[in-house]
Amino acid sequence: MERTLVLLKPDAVDRGLVGEIITRFEKVGLKIAGLKMLQVGKEHAAKHYTEDLAQRRGQHVRDLMIEMISSGPIVAMVLEGVEAVEIVRKMVGTTEPKSAAPGTIRGDYSHVSFKHADSKKMGVYNLVHASGSVEEAPVEIAVWFAPEELHDHKPGYTKHTIAY
């Protein structure tokens, strides 16, 4: 079983999409191993959006992402399942909402383009963060959850669909 981090960003919380997004993950059989709502400061946000992001996309982009994620409450969760990282990434859709396919979370619930965000000098409000790789997931999970906040349980519905 893999675990992956998902953050429902302030725009998802503000728009009342938390339950709907969580339901989509549960409907495919992903198990919630950890879940909490919190408001983070810029210092904590900087632990998530690391200097590596600045090296890849520029310090300006990192600063915008830190500003965006700390602008309101978020919901952090750890999902678990067979190849969970890949499944979640597929369900979330591409980072740019405008380019996300219909049927994905970003494709169904957001539409902002990188061009628009750049013109407004703001981060891209794309509802969700999802770990980008199997290697990245445990590092990100540790930023948001202490080990005792994660739960290992075997939901009854998995008896016939997933061998845990």
Distance between CA 113 and CA 42 in Å, rounded?
24
126's tokens: 């794309």
Distance between CA 77 and CA 84 in Å, rounded?
13
Side chain identity at 128, as an amino acid letter? V
Sheet holding 2-8, edge to edge: 31-38, 74-81, 2-8, 128-130
The size of the chain, in residues, is: 164
68's tokens: 């965006």
Side chain identity at 49, as an amino acid letter? Y
Are 132 and 89 in contact by the 8 Å Cβ rule? The answer is yes
Element housing 10 (H / E): helix 10-14
Please identify every residue annotated as catalytic.
Answer: 129
